[in-house]
Amino acid sequence: MECGEPVEQVVLRPGMTVGELVAAMGRAGAYNGGALAKATDIYEAMLRDRQVTRFLGLAGAMVPAGMGRIVSDLIDGGFVDVLVSTGANLTHDIIEALGCRHYHGTVSCSDVDLREAEINRIYDVFLPNESFIRFEEFMQERFDALSSRGPLPVREFLSELGLALPSGILASAARRSVPVFCPAVADSMIGLQHWLFTQAHRPALDALSDMNDLLSLCFDARSAGVLIVGGGVPKNYILQGMLMTPRGFDYAVQLTGDRPDLGGLSGATLDEARSWGKITATARAVTVYGDATITLPLLVAAVRERIGV
C-alpha cells in the first residue's frame, strides 16, 4: 500500500475561473470534490479523443432546472454523438422550445393550493398547466402531420420534432443529425400524447425498432465513452447496448445523487459495471455523487475551458 500525491489545500482567488477551481479541487483530491476533478480529466480526454463515440445519458428533471441548455450546447459543439434521454426531459425541452417557461417556486407551500392554481410542482420549480395545453397542440399537430409515414421509430420522430422547433435539445440534435433515443417514451407526456392521438388514429410511433440503431452505434464504435447524468433508464440503456458488443466503454463519467448500497442501478458504481463487461477492465471511470444542478455545470464549464470552446 502506498500513498499518492499530497493533498494540497485549496486556495481560492477572487475571479478565478471554473477550470481553475476544479483544478484546485483535483489537487486536493478528496471525496466528491476530488471525484469531480477526476471526472473533468476523463471527460476532457473523451472529448479530445477523435476515435471515441460519445454517448450522453440524461435522466432526472434536468430541463426544468435549467440544465437543458448545457446539453444542447454540448450537442451544438459537436461533443455528443448519441443522446439517450428520459421522455420527461424531452417533454420539458419541447415546452421551453414552444416558448413556455418553468418558474422559480418553493417547497414551502400547499400542493393542494397549487393544484387549484393549476400549477404543477417539481421540487422548487413551478410549471403552469397551460404549458401542457400548448404542448398538446404541438404534439397532436405533429402526430397528424407525420402519421402518414406510418409508425415512425421514436428516434426518427424525435428528429422530426427537433426540426419543427426553434431551439433546445431536440432542435440542436436534429440540426446536427445527432440521434436521440428515448427507450421509455411511453413513460412520459410524449407517450400520453401518442396514446391520445391513437384514440382516433393509427399509431404514429414504433418504440422498439430503435434498438437496432443503438446497437449498430455500439457495434460500430472504435472506442466509446459515456457521460451519465442521473442514472435511470438512459444509464442502463446505454450500458446494456455496449454489453452486447465484444467491448465496453473506455471512458465513463457518472453524476448521480443516489447511493450504491440500495442495489439500484442508478446509484451503482461504475466498478460494478466492469463485472458485467459494460465498461472495460481498464476504462477510465468515475462517479460523482451529488446534485447534478451543481456537478453538471461545474464539469462542463471546466472541460469547455480546457478545450477552449
Within residues 267-306, the interface with a copy of itself by CB under 8 A covers 267-268, 271-277, 281, 289-295, 297-298, 300-301, 304-305
According to the binding rule CB under 8 A, does residue 244 interact with a copy of itself? Answer: yes
According to the binding rule CB under 8 A, does residue 186 interact with a copy of itself? Answer: yes
Q: Please enumerate in sequence order all residues whose Cβ is within 8 A of that of 262, keeping only pairs 6 or more positions apart, or say none.
A: none
Q: Which of 287, 176, 280 is nearest to 223 (CA)?
A: 280
Within residues 103-132, the interface with a copy of itself by CB under 8 A covers 103-117, 119-126, 128
Binding residue for a copy of itself (CB under 8 A) from 39, 47, 139, 233? 233
What's the closest the beta carbon of residue 194 comes to a copy of itself, in angstroms?
7
Question: With the C-alpha atoms ordered 38, 77, 86, 151, is the resulting torsion angle positive or negative?
Answer: negative
What's the closest the beta carbon of residue 93 comes to a copy of itself, in angstroms?
10
**Cell numbers at residue 117, please?**
392554481
According to the binding rule CB under 8 A, does residue 70 interact with a copy of itself? Answer: yes
Q: What is the per-residue binding string for a copy of itself in 8-37, x denoting contact by CB under 8 A?
A: xxxxxxxxxxxx-x--xx-xxxxxxxxxx-
- 3-state secondary structure labels for all residues of 146-179: HHHHCCEEHHHHHHHHHHCCCCCHHHHHHHCCCC
Report the alpha-carbon distance of residue 84 to residue 65 in Å, rounded: 18
Beta strand 119-122 with 125-128 is: antiparallel
**Side chain identity at residue 124, one-letter code:** D
Total residues interacting with a copy of itself, rule: CB under 8 A = 137
Binding residue for a copy of itself (CB under 8 A) from 134, 147, 176, 203? 203
What's the closest the beta carbon of residue 164 comes to a copy of itself, in angstroms?
19
- 3-state secondary structure labels for all residues of 175-197: HCCCCEECCCCCCCHHHHHHHHH
Is 235 an annotated catalytic residue?
A: no
What's the closest the beta carbon of residue 147 comes to a copy of itself, in angstroms?
13
Helix (H, G, I), strand (E, B) or coil at 249: strand
Binding residue for a copy of itself (CB under 8 A) from 134, 136, 164, 198? 198
What's the closest the beta carbon of residue 254 comes to a copy of itself, in angstroms?
12
Binding residue for a copy of itself (CB under 8 A) from 53, 131, 172, 236? 236
Which lies closer to a copy of itself via its Cβ, residue 69 or residue 134? 69
Residue 152: strand pairing partners: 205
Q: Quick check: 171 and 162 in contact, CB under 8 A?
A: yes
Q: Quick check: 77 and 71 in contact, CB under 8 A?
A: no
Name the catalytic one among 278, 287, 299, 304: 278
According to the binding rule CB under 8 A, does residue 147 interact with a copy of itself? Answer: no
Binding residue for a copy of itself (CB under 8 A) from 180, 194, 247, 251? 194
Just list the catalytic residues: 278
